[in-house]
Structure 1
Amino acid sequence: MKRSAIFAAALAFAASTPAFAAEPITGRWMTEDKDAVVTIAKCGSSYCGRISRFLVPPPQGADQRDTNNPDPAKRSRKLMGLPVLFSFAEDDDLWRGRIYDPKSGKDYRSVVRRKSASRLEVKGCLGPICQTQNWTRAN
């Protein structure tokens, strides 16, 4: 009898405990290399992050194009305003989507987690291997 009362109490507690929700990742974030600011916001039904400011001008200036993109039709796009994070959706305590690297022209599976009010952990993964960057809140 005592065992079933403990089980019932544990079950009631588990049912009343909310699932972990991901901290919002929206806002302006400075990349780890401190070369750009990416603004993350709602984009349709998902979230995306666009280059909103260059802190270090690219080789061809602020009008730099997406010249490393493997798709010739996309090579004329400006990097300014380009989505480098796209198709992000909340998944428990983190966000999952894709990340685009304009320096290589490749995109990768990505996981983003809000570590604090001023720090975002951004991972880009190719298979089981991931590279992690820490982005900081931009003013």
Structure 2
Amino acid sequence: MKLKKIILLASILIVSVAAFAQKLPSDKLIGVWESVDSDPKLKFEFYKSGDKYFGKLLHASNMYEEDGKTPKKDFKNPDEKLRDRSRYGITNITNLTYEDGEYTGGKLYNPEEGRSYSVMVKLTSANEMDFRGYVGFSLLGKTMKFKRVLDKTQKASNEDR
């Protein structure tokens, strides 16, 4: 008899916790995020266009010329027409879709290498995310942690670097 009560109580507890554990809204990704554990240090502004999410590069600690002010050009871009553009402000995270609490199916263009990687993002809280870039399988990649700098109601500025 006690075992049945324990099982019933455990079941009620699990259902209660599951009912209260809600996923964050899909648009919670929108805003400015900064890496906390990567080299180079990165800052992206995520935005939504249609039903997909994109990330614009606001800062990378390795994106400036020796003067520390002039952004480097995208000189390794596979598209020769884009090699003269500035790395600052390029949309290099593209086509993330939100499903079951994760953003998947996206691509990350790395201007330092001129290569693209698959990417997935998971918000671990309203102000923290895990960002994983990989080639082929997600097991063959690297996860970086990011923290929110600005939410979607605030505006990013050049002085945020």
State the TM-score, normalizing by the size of structure 1.
Answer: 0.74
Distance 1:113 1:79, change over 3 A: same
Gaps of 5+ in 2: 1-14, 151-161
Match in the other structure for 1:58: 64
Distance 1:54 1:99, change over 3 A: closer
Find the partner of 2:80 among 61, 72, 81: 72
Q: What is the deviation of 1:47?
A: 1.0
Deviations 1:94-126 (A, max 9, x none): 001111111111111111000112211111110
Gaps of 5+ in 1: 1-12
Distance 1:135 1:45, change over 3 A: same
Higher percent of residues as helix: 2
Match in the other structure for 1:10: none
Q: What is the deviation of 1:73?
A: 1.4
Q: Aligned Cα RMSD in Å?
A: 2.4
Q: What is the deviation of 1:30?
A: 0.8
CA distance in 2, matches of 1:30, 1:99: 16
* 1:26-37 → structure 2 map (5 Å cutoff): 26-31=30-35, 32-33=38-39, 35-37=41-43
Deviations 1:45-95 (A, max 9, x none): 411010124566523643321112122111112111101211111021100
Higher percent of residues as strand: 1
1:137 maps to 2:143: no
Deviates more, 1:49-58 or 1:119-128: 49-58
Aligned residues: 122
* 1:32-51 → structure 2 map (5 Å cutoff): 32-33=38-39, 35-51=41-57
Q: Is the 8 A contact 2:76 2:113 kept in 1?
A: yes
What SS is found at the alignment partner of 1:138? strand
Letter in 2 for 1:41: Y
Letter in 2 for 1:28: V
Q: Is the 8 A contact 2:65 2:71 kept in 1?
A: no
Q: Is the 8 A contact 1:62 1:80 kept in 2?
A: no
